[in-house]
Amino acid sequence: MATTSTATAPTVTYRRPSLYPKQQAAIFSADRYGIIEGSTKCGKTVACIAWILEQAMGGLRGQAFWWISPVYPQAKVAYRRLKRGLPETLYTANESELTITLVNGAILSFKSAEKPDNLYGEDVYAAVLDEATRMREQAWHAIRSTLTATRGPVRIIGNVKGRRNWAYALARRAEGGEPGWTYAKLTAADAIDAGIIASEEIDQAQRQLPESVFRELYFAEPSDDGGNPFGQEAIRACIGDVSGSPPVVYGVDLAKSIDWTVVVGLDETGAVCRFDRYQWPWEETVRRLAQEIGLTPAIVDSTGVGDPIVERLQRELSNVEGYHFSSPSKQRLMEGLAMAIQTGEVRYPQGVIVSELDAFAYEYTRTGVRYSAPEGMHDDCVMALALAVYGRTGAPGVGVW
């Protein structure tokens, strides 16, 4: 008598490790893309290991799921951590390749980001970039390409490490509401609340580490990188509500090819009372500017394509003055803004102005000091604010009129 054996897939009950609510919301959001800035030991890795495992459990035979760490030994640690949490009957592992194949045939691979070129080529169904701030941007580009055909989701996690890096720029865009993205921040305070770390531990770290390092590592607050011309504390000290008083001066930075036209109006105390940011065709821009500015003095960026715009405005409004950006004139303008911020002579609301001020940096180059926003970020709010501050204080001899 023949016996028939029916192969049935084993039924497995999976229980997600218990995550604290903020940790869960940050990593398990419904959005395809997630970027999480976290303090050290706040539970980033644990949550992402659970996330990638769940993605793979929902996958099919042969589908690839990737965990990327900055260097190979870190990838190996994550590989071991995941393996430790899985019953041996549910997977086969390959130590030399750092892969774990689940019973459903989905393959989890643990890789290093050291050679981004090696990350191209495969179709990946979900990926985690752990310690992303320690990876080169090319690694992210490579991973992004592997997720295109599959429309796979990704989680990018890491400590904050200054401002001049791709992960910081990406986090700011996500925080600003980029569609499809979740941004979250997990700090030591969250981890203490959740009972994962003891507050004494944090107090000790604060005593032992330089303040800027401590704030980055435990509170996910970027340090100045030594390159912010305004100073982090000074930037914070000038945050206030939008003023209801009328403007006495406007600063206008005109959109170039990819950025925004930004209009900042200051009242007589130096507080921002008007703030507008838009991308319109030139005709519309000129009309809106003329309407907004009216008879109030205004300093308008006249660099490049700004020149004819300023001329058009000046035909109607005698109170409009052009400001031409050159390396030295920009430097003087920024020094004026830095002075106003450090002496508390200006106030601005929380939001995009503050983000741009935070990210703004200077670099010493062979030809002098270069002021700019980091790659991938804008500086048009900073410029408009600086022009308004300059127009208000009217520092003599500054700028090219």
Judged by CB under 5 A, the number of residues near Mg ion is 1
CB of 27 to ligand ATP, least distance (A): 10
User: What residues form DSSP beta bridges with 363?
Assistant: 370
Three-class secondary structure of residue 366 per DSSP: coil
Q: Is 133 in the site for Mg ion (CB under 5 A)?
A: no
CA angle 242, 243, 246 (to 5 degrees): 130
Q: Cα 223 to the chain's mean position, in Å? A: 14
CB of 31 to ligand ATP, least distance (A): 20
Q: Is 45 in the site for Mg ion (CB under 5 A)?
A: yes
Footprint of ligand ATP (CB under 6 A): 18-20, 23, 38, 40-46, 194, 196
Residue 46: contacted member of ligand ATP, Mg ion, none (CB under 5 to 8 Å, by partner type): ligand ATP
Sheet holding 91-94: strands in order across? 91-94, 99-102, 107-112, 64-69, 124-129, 154-158, 33-38, 181-186
Residue 93: contacted member of ligand ATP, Mg ion, none (CB under 5 to 8 Å, by partner type): none
Residue 20: contacted member of Mg ion, ligand ATP, none (CB under 5 to 8 Å, by partner type): ligand ATP
Instruction: State phi, psi for 164 to the nearest 5 degrees.
Output: -90, 60
Q: Which is nearer to ligand ATP, 220 or 377 (CB)?
A: 220
**Distance separating alpha carbons of residues 300 and 321, to the nearest angstrom:** 6
CA distances from 311 to 302, 306, 334, 360 (A): 9, 9, 24, 30
Strand locations in 81-234, DSSP E? 91-94, 99-102, 107-112, 124-129, 154-158, 181-186
Q: Which is nearer to Mg ion, 28 or 280 (CB)?
A: 28
Residue 69: contacted member of Mg ion, ligand ATP, none (CB under 5 to 8 Å, by partner type): none
Q: Which is nearer to ligand ATP, 100 or 192 (CB)?
A: 192
Residue nearest to ligand ATP (CB): 43
Q: Which is nearer to Mg ion, 217 or 357 (CB)?
A: 217
CB of 220 to ligand ATP, least distance (A): 10
| Spatial contact of 175 and 27, defined as CB atoms under 8 Å apart | no
Q: Is 74 in the site for Mg ion (CB under 5 A)?
A: no
Q: Are strands 99-102 and 107-112 parallel, antiparallel or unpaired?
A: antiparallel
CB of 67 to ligand ATP, least distance (A): 12
Q: Is 29 in the site for Mg ion (CB under 5 A)?
A: no
Measured over the CA atoms of residue 345, residue 351, residue 353 and residue 358, the dihedral's sign is: positive
CB of 264 to ligand ATP, least distance (A): 39
CB of 154 to ligand ATP, least distance (A): 17
| 20-26 contact pairs (CB < 8 A, 24+) | 20/190, 20/193, 20/194, 20/196, 22/184, 22/186, 22/190, 22/194, 23/47, 23/186, 23/190, 23/194, 25/184, 26/182, 26/184, 26/186
Q: Are strands 91-94 and 320-323 parallel, antiparallel or unpaired?
A: unpaired
Q: Which is nearer to Mg ion, 129 or 174 (CB)?
A: 129
Q: Which is nearer to Mg ion, 39 or 223 (CB)?
A: 39
Q: Which is nearer to ligand ATP, 20 or 348 (CB)?
A: 20
CB of 44 to ligand ATP, least distance (A): 4
CB of 16 to ligand ATP, least distance (A): 10
Site residues, Mg ion (CB under 5 A): 45
